[in-house]
């Protein structure tokens, strides 16, 4: 049998195609889905509130709200996550304090931030919807999310929120590693630089998730 031979150019074209056009081939089964709304809280969404504001997350509020309302109509549970004061902040990875995304050299009032974990007012959860306070980027890290999903009988997560290449992308990876099917909304996840959003979508598309627009997600859910 003749051995397969792949040139360097062949490999690069395979990679490029998977990053840009690859598509996970699992179906979306409505009864198996839960919608995750990641960190759509004032610190990231409220305009001009603090240096952690992600302007694109504010722009995406209408589409995320549409997704939330559609999931409510279809009986798909919505699970929110936020950062807030938990365990005197001792539940955070210790190395986090050294990261430049904390803006250590910027002079601003920090004392009221990430305390209450208040979800942006246009996306307020209903009384019976779950809000998880998480200590780090990924929503599965040191939280009850996996137990909640198992008790709900869900094996598929639809991910929306902020930020694409931090909390949302990390959650997608953690879900994948736990055997969940991951649907990642290309226009219902936001980050601070457009090029980082696109770069993260490419990585997720190749190896972790079905990357789809919110309209594509809703069309497949409503087609069942």
Asked if residue 1 belongs to a domain, the reply is no
Could you report the average pLDDT of every consecutive run of 10 residues in the chain (224 residues)?
Answer: 83 96 96 99 98 98 98 98 96 95 94 97 98 98 98 98 98 98 98 98 98 98 89
Asked if residue 201 belongs to a domain, the reply is yes
Domain that holds residue 96: 29-222
Nearest residue to 61 (alpha-carbon basis) of 149, 190, 180: 190
Place of tokens 């990053």: 19
Nearest residue to 79 (alpha-carbon basis) of 161, 7, 21, 22: 161
Length of the chain: 224
Query: How far apart are alpha carbons 168 and 191 in whole angstroms?
Result: 9
184 alpha carbon, distance to own chain's centre: 7
Q: Domain tally for the chain?
A: 1
CATH code where residue 217 lies? 3.40.50.850
Asked if residue 133 belongs to a domain, the reply is yes
Letter string b/e over residues 91-112, b meaning 16 or more CB atoms within 10 A of that residue's CB: eeeeeeeeeeeeeeeeeeeeee
Residue 2: predicted pLDDT: 63
Whether 160 contacts 36, CB under 8 Å: yes
Residue 169: predicted pLDDT: 98
Asked if residue 113 belongs to a domain, the reply is yes
Asked if residue 180 belongs to a domain, the reply is yes
Residue 1: predicted pLDDT: 54
Asked if residue 83 belongs to a domain, the reply is yes
């Amino acid at each position: 049998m003749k051995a397969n031979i792949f040139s360097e150019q062949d490999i690069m074209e395979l990679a490029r195609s998977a990053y840009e056009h690859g598509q996970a081939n699992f179906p979306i089964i409505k009864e198996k889905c839960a919608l995750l709304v990641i960190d759509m809280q004032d610190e990231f969404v409220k305009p001009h509130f603090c240096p952690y504001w992600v302007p694109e997350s504010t722009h995406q509020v209408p589409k995320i709200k549409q997704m939330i309302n559609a999931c409510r109509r279809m009986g798909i549970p919505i699970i929110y996550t936020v950062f807030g004061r938990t365990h005197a902040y001792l539940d955070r990875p210790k190395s986090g304090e050294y990261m430049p995304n904390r803006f250590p050299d910027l002079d601003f009032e920090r004392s009221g931030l990430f305390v209450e974990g208040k979800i942006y007012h246009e996306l307020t959860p209903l009384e019976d919807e779950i809000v998880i306070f998480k200590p780090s980027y990924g929503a599965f890290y040191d939280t009850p999310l996996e137990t909640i999903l198992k008790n709900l009988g869900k094996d598929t997560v639809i991910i929306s929120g902020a930020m694409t290449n931090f909390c949302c992308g990390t959650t997608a990876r953690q879900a994948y590693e736990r055997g969940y099917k991951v649907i990642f909304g290309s226009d219902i996840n936001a980050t601070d630089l457009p090029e980082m959003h696109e770069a993260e979508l490419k990585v997720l598309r190749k190896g972790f998730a079905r990357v789809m627009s919110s309209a594509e997600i809703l069309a497949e859910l409503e087609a069942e």
